[in-house]
Amino acid sequence: MSQEHRHSPKDPACLEVFARLSEYLDGELPPEECAAVEAHIADCPPCVEFLENLKRCIGASREMQTDCRPEPMPKAMEDKLRAAWMQALARKGA
Ligand SMILES: [Zn+2]
């Protein structure tokens, strides 16, 4: 772990949401976990922002596919989104 503290989310709930987002967006989470993610997001602007960006990116990349099977998110895109999310969390000062 070489990341600086100020760039890391301090809220473990945010990390948990992040870890589950792709399953959440794919509708693979059980209903109670889905509700837990939504409850967290409702009260966490950085996570809302992150989720909206993620949805936009996934939607855009899926539209470009002729195949109807969704592709996994490109690593570079995930890194970029994660960096933006970390910054939003740092601003939140949690
Ligand atoms: Zn959060």
For ligand 1, the distance from its centroid to the CA atom of residue 69, given in whole angstroms, is: 29
47/41 Cα distance (integer angstroms): 6
For ligand 1, the distance from its centroid to the CA atom of residue 42, given in whole angstroms, is: 9
Domains of the chain by residue range: 5-89
Predicted confidence (pLDDT) per residue in 36-71, tens digit: 999 998 888 888 888 888 888 777 776 766 555 555
Mean pLDDT of 64-86: 72
Q: How many helices (H) and strands (E) does the chain have?
A: 4, 0
Neighbours of ion ligand 1 (CB under 5 A): 14, 44, 47
User: Is the separation of the CB atoms in 72 and 87 below 8 Å?
Assistant: no
pTM above 0.75, yes or no: no
72 backbone dihedrals φ, ψ, rounded to 5°: -65, 150
For ligand 1, the distance from its centroid to the CA atom of residue 67, given in whole angstroms, is: 33
16/40 Cα distance (integer angstroms): 10
User: Is the separation of the CB atoms in 14 and 31 below 8 Å?
Assistant: no
